[in-house]
Structure 1
Amino acid sequence: MILKKQIILAFFSLLLASPLTYGQIFDFSKPDPYKKVFVKTDNFGVSYLQELENALAKIDRDSLKFEVLNDLAYYWHTRNLGTALEFTKKGLELTSEKNNSLWHGRFQITEGSILLRQEKLDLAEAVLKEAKTKVKESDLAFLNTQLGYVYERRGQLGKAADYALESLSLGEKLNDKKAIGLAYSDLSNLLWKQGKFEEGLDYGLKSLSFFEEGNTIDLDYDFTLYVVGNNYLSLQQYDKAMEYYEHSIEIGERYGFYNNLSDVYISLVDLNVYLNHFSEAEAAGKNAIKYAYLLDNAFMLMRSYLAVGELQNQNENYPAAIENIQKSIEVATPNFGDGFFLSKAYKSLGQAYAENEQFEDAFHSINKYDSLNSIVFTAEADQRISQLQTEFNVTQKENTIQLQKTELLQQQTNQNLISLIAGLLFLMLLVLFISFSNNRKKNKLLKIKNKEKEFLLKEIHHRVKNNLEVVSSLLALQTAQIKDPNIISAMKESQNRVYSMSIIHQRLYQNEYLSSIEMKDYFINLGSHILDSFGEEERIKIHYEMPELHLDVDTAVPLGLIVNELLTNSLKYAFPNKKAGEITIDLDKISDHEIQLLVMDNGIGQTEGEPAKGTGFGKNLIDLLTRQLDGTMKVIYTPGTQYFFNFKVDGSS
């Protein structure tokens, strides 16, 4: 049996190979570790079932193990009934050992679902009725659905409808949209079998709306698409029928719902016959038989052979029709139980015999059809379903009237509440208006004070700038009295340092921002001044490869001094013999609290470890300012020289 299961799994893996990558189903670090299919994921395939089976050995919590094992059993019943029953029996044994009555009952519901599809209707009924005494109320809607299937298969359509309505009542009581959708689906199918196609279509579409509202795209939703398609087919709305069948096939093939696929392909035989698409009808019949064999389901196999036989009747291939319909009847005996489809089989067989001039056989087949038909389509069953419909409609109307009364009472309550809220809102608005008026006065005073402070700050920056210019002028006057070129150079550098600081204060009182400096504009002004002071505007070009960037004064001043020193150094040493050259300045924000500065030239460069030229004051100043800004410096000695700085800053933008 294990070898058989492995072969089946390997076959499904090839058959259902998909580009989807299935996510992890279990995360045992979480309180709810199981990612349940059709609830928290829709990635359902053989790999999902294999992962469930592999996880069983790792699960130490009984309730979780039972849930996973029950899901394995139930989801396998859409693909192979024998494998599904193996898992079910294992679950029944485990729950008996653990004396867990609730989960034993739930496994019995799954067992009943499998048994009824194996034509063991009496056993299925007994198991389901025993389970009814063990499970919770929330489980009963699904249990009643399975009991309804038992009676439907026996041809007791009125009894089946009773269970469908019981499920509907439970679903409405518990606000279980899945249970409501399933009940409407069952009623739609029963009405279709009764030939009440308009009503059947109405219930089927209602069912789909409840499934979709709950975002439940699963086996039962797929089956309901098939049922709606059947009603459209019976109403001769062939395009709509094809639309719902194709949607059902798409879902069935995606998830491996072989029972639904066999159902739909059986109906597609009939649809394609109506459309005179006989080759498509033949292909649909082969698919129906294929999925019935894979599922190991005699009910599906019987109906598949019947559909092929009816197709051959239409093609006037009566010997082949007789052969296939006889196969259908052979599959169905002795415990088939479904008089509806058996009656159809004998009717089609009688037609084939008559057309093949086997009149005695035709007579016996038609007699058998009449006897089965009279059992299924009794006046009592028809009357019961009509009565149930009426009762249901009356209940719905009473519910609507009660709902309207409740809504009127609610409207009155809402009106009173609205009046109360309106009064409170008026008081709140009055308080807010008074508060707003007071705040407005305060804001006016604050604006006046802010303008006064802004004016004072601008005045301070203006005076600082003027004082720095006075210092620069004094240095210039002193320089004019000096003859030593080295001292003149040092004085000129000092003037440029003072100027680099004075520009910042000039920008602060000229711009709308009093707390920050836009650095690109600042560097352009500084660079132009330094070139002018050295008389190198024509020979040396400075490139400013940086976005607009605002920095606070405490950061801008040291940066300005660093760039001033590096520009001065390049102009003095990088381009000897009147050689033309280029200097690049790039300042970028790396993160909210980090900026990067690059200053490089394409001059003659220097070798690593070469002693500083001049007094070395500029290098010492750069080192000091870099530490002040909590920064790092790296020098790259290439053709030319590159200085990289990283600085920690606050509030750069």
Structure 2
Amino acid sequence: MSSVHPYKKVFVETDNFGASYLDTLEHCYNQVKIDSVQFSMLNDLAYYWHTRNLNTAMAFTKKGLQLTSLNNELTWNGRFQITQGAILLRMEKLDSAKIVLELAKAKVEQSDLAFLNTQLGYVYERRGQLDKAADYALKALDLGEKLNNNKAMAMAYSDLSNLFWKQAKFETGLEYGLRSLKLFEDWGITDLDYGFTLYVTGNNYLALEDYEEARRYYEHSIIIGERYGFYNNLSDVYISLVDLYSYLGEFENAREAGRNAVKYAELLENNFMLMRSWLAIGKMQNKCGNYEEAIKGLKKSITTATEDFGDAYYLSDAHKELGRAYASNNDYKNAYNAFSEYDSLKNEVFTAEADHRISQLRTEFDVAQKEGTIVLQQAQIKKQQTLQQFITIITVLLLLLLLLAYKAISNNIKKNKLLQKKNSEKEFLLKEIHHRVKNNLEIVSSLLSLQAASIVDPNVLDAMEQCQHRVHSMGMIHQKLYLGEKLATVEMKDYFNNLSDYIIHSYGQNEQVIVDLEMDELELDVDIAIPIGLIVNELITNSLKYAFPANRKGNIHLALKEKGDLLILEVRDNGIGLLSENRADGTGFGTHLVNLLVKQLDGKMILVTDQGTSVYIKFLNTKAA
């Protein structure tokens, strides 16, 4: 296997991933020359072993990290760190996973970042920080859209579906799950993440009580998991099937699903899956009324979760179910403790529902320890008093909040009115400034006109008239600013119409030359509109002066169009062309000015002199702030 090798990237170039494929990769990767092919094979070994056994996966990951470090392969070292992070978080080492994933960011390529962000999202999801997990899912989605990567987008939608499910927003979760599956199907390869998305979509159907659809998606996910040996997906699905069969009252099927969930979690050596498997079994025993068995299973679930477990979502659920089991078994003291732990994990301090339930359990516990009707009545009276006090406190707090909200809204209304007044004043002042600038430019234009009247030299006279036109073109910009609704942008189509009419009228060629304006309405920042106006002024003036001698009739085509981030200015005429002898009569200042303005706009100018003169200028569109 020195030059020719049978390896194809798993779930990219092939989905031929049978039970023995990882063994084949392990046998062959050492025979390949140390290069990207060997690293890719080793990374596939590391990553896909995490679907079967986490410790084996970590061993291959460490080999990859060692090899890439020895060979100074920074990018591949970063990719192995992403794989390491994926394995560590499933080993409940969330802090370590976050550290290695952050280190990998600076090493890998942009195409790897979507997958990296997905793993970081899993870290925060396991910590119960669903808002941050959603942020990373959205980052992965954005990268997938930029790179047109269906797989990355599909994984992001899958993660969002799972997060919405955890937030009990099941209809939205279902929508994102179905969207993810459509992208996976367009991609054309059924892999680990496709199987997981089927499971997540099934969870949303289950929560919406569409049991048949949930069963259908779970069964499809199991087919993929068994085909490829994805133990983590299989454990996930069987955990949900325990819930599904329990809802349907099919308790024998639920017990079988629970045994399968535990089996695959143990094969994977994944305590997270094992904890959730026992949680599902405990829930099922509660529904069956087997409270002693439920307590055993739920205690085993909680014991399996280590101190670094991190996922308060499932851990709180386990304590809630344990509280129910104890309460149903008349063990009110332990029920009270379990519900207290549930409340602490869910961070729901003294909510009405939690307070009512805990008070009820406390009362039941007290009653269980004492005898007699008098004690029971006293406990009930105390409970009612506590509830009434709680309601009174909540009512006072709500009234206080309403009062504060009213004051805040009133203050905001006053502030908004003051801001509107100030904005109106500033807008008036800005319009007045533009008006005065326009008036001053008109004065300059008039002075130039008066000066020109006393000049005999035709070249100097022409230069003076050119200056007058330039000043007028700038004045028109400021006129549009103070007459228009927007103070920072100029609508260019109307401006070009007015400017071209003015120039043609100034040269007395209204009947001789027609300006053909071909463009849509387009607003530009004033800082870019002024130099463009000066350029158009010079180019139309040059056409009028040199393209149509001896009263020759003609057309000038003018256009300004957007193309992506670029603006393209086009000015062309059907005159005699730039190389005519008449062109030599000019001073050259106009051409020099155009070149300077194009350079100012950081643009590029193309001149074509075939059948007339055409000028094309491309430059970046600097949007107004």
Q: Distance in 2 between matches of 1:29 and 1:114?
A: 32
Return the offset for 1:28. Answer: 5.9
* CA 1:59–1:29: 2 relative to 1, 3 Å: closer
Q: Distance in 2 between matches of 1:190 and 1:239?
A: 23
SS at match of 1:346: helix
Q: Distance in 2 between matches of 1:227 and 1:57?
A: 38
Paired letter, 2:151: K
Match of 2:212 among 206, 229, 239: 239
Corresponding residue for 1:110? 83
Larger Rg: 1
SS at match of 1:46: coil
1:47-86 to structure 2, matched below 5 A, reads 47-86=20-59
Match of 1:165 among 113, 120, 138: 138
Gaps of 5+ in 1: 1-26, 379-404, 406-412, 414-653
Return the offset for 1:207. Answer: 0.2
What is the count of residue pairs matched by the alignment?
A: 353
Paired letter, 1:54: H
Corresponding residue for 1:257? 230
Paired letter, 1:328: S
For the pair 1:309 / 2:282, whether they are aligned, the reply is: yes
For the pair 1:154 / 2:127, whether they are aligned, the reply is: yes
Corresponding residue for 1:219? 192
Return the offset for 1:43. Answer: 1.9
For the pair 1:196 / 2:162, whether they are aligned, the reply is: no
Return the offset for 1:341. Answer: 0.1
TM-score (norm 1): 0.53
Paired letter, 1:145: T
Paired letter, 2:68: T
Q: Give per-residue Cα distances to partners, 1:156-213, cap 9 Å, x unaligned.
A: 0000000000000000000000000000000000000000000000000000011110
Paired letter, 2:261: A
Return the offset for 1:372. Answer: 1.0
1:342-361 to structure 2, matched below 5 A, reads 342-361=315-334
Q: Distance in 2 between matches of 1:262 and 1:28?
A: 40
Return the offset for 1:246. Answer: 0.1
Paired letter, 1:209: K
Return the offset for 1:63. Answer: 1.1
Match of 1:330 among 280, 294, 303: 303
Corresponding residue for 2:468? none
Paired letter, 1:151: Y
Return the offset for 1:57. Answer: 2.1
Corresponding residue for 2:66? 93
Return the offset for 1:68. Answer: 0.4
Return the offset for 1:38. Answer: 1.9
Q: Distance in 1 between matches of 2:238 and 2:300?
A: 18
Return the offset for 1:29. Answer: 5.0
Q: Give per-residue Cα distances to partners, 1:327-370, cap 9 Å, x unaligned.
A: 00001021100000001000000000101111011001101111
Match of 2:182 among 192, 209, 228: 209
Q: Distance in 2 between matches of 1:217 and 1:197?
A: 24
Corresponding residue for 1:40? 13
SS at match of 2:20: helix
Q: Distance in 2 between matches of 1:375 and 1:130?
A: 35
Return the offset for 1:35. Answer: 1.8
SS at match of 2:347: helix
Gaps of 5+ in 2: 352-519, 521-562, 564-625
Q: Distance in 1 between matches of 2:105 and 2:30?
A: 30
Q: Distance in 2 between matches of 1:77 and 1:211?
A: 21
1:502-521 to structure 2, matched below 5 A, reads none
SS at match of 1:78: coil
Corresponding residue for 1:138? 111
Q: Distance in 1 between matches of 2:74 and 2:106?
A: 9
SS at match of 1:146: helix
Q: Distance in 1 between matches of 2:220 and 2:336?
A: 41
SS at match of 2:307: coil
1:424-443 to structure 2, matched below 5 A, reads none
Corresponding residue for 1:451? none
Paired letter, 2:54: L
Q: Give per-residue Cα distances to partners, 1:271-292, cap 9 Å, x unaligned.
A: 0011110000000000000000
Q: Distance in 2 between matches of 1:28 and 1:196?
A: 54
Paired letter, 2:344: S
Match of 1:290 among 256, 263, 272: 263
Q: Distance in 1 between matches of 2:284 and 2:331?
A: 19
Paired letter, 1:103: W
Corresponding residue for 1:23? none
Q: Are the aligned partners of 2:2 and 2:31 in contact in 1 as well (CA < 8 Å)? A: no
Return the offset for 1:105. Answer: 0.4
Corresponding residue for 1:463? none
Backbone CA RMSD of aligned residues: 1.9
Q: Are the aligned partners of 2:272 and 2:305 in contact in 1 as well (CA < 8 Å)? A: yes
Q: Distance in 1 between matches of 2:198 and 2:346?
A: 27
Q: Distance in 2 between matches of 1:67 and 1:255?
A: 19
Return the offset for 1:123. Answer: 0.4
| 4+ runs deviating over 6 angstroms | none
Return the offset for 1:34. Answer: 2.4
Identity %: 64
Q: Distance in 1 between matches of 2:23 and 2:320?
A: 44
Match of 2:312 among 339, 347, 365: 339
Q: Give per-residue Cα distances to partners, 1:117-158, cap 9 Å, x unaligned.
A: 000000000010000111000000000000000000000000
For the pair 1:374 / 2:347, whether they are aligned, the reply is: yes
Return the offset for 1:39. Answer: 2.5
Q: Distance in 2 between matches of 1:327 and 1:33?
A: 46
Paired letter, 2:79: R
For the pair 1:300 / 2:273, whether they are aligned, the reply is: yes
Paired letter, 1:281: A
Paired letter, 2:260: N
Q: Give per-residue Cα distances to partners, 1:258-308, cap 9 Å, x unaligned.
A: 000000000000000111100000000000000000000000000000111
Q: Are the aligned partners of 2:9 and 2:40 in contact in 1 as well (CA < 8 Å)? A: no
Return the offset for 1:375. Answer: 7.3
Q: Give per-residue Cα distances to partners, 1:523-568, cap 9 Å, x unaligned.
A: xxxxxxxxxxxxxxxxxxxxxxxxxxxxxxxxxxxxxxxxxxxxxx
Match of 1:180 among 110, 128, 153: 153
TM-score (norm 2): 0.55
Q: Distance in 2 between matches of 1:222 and 1:213?
A: 15
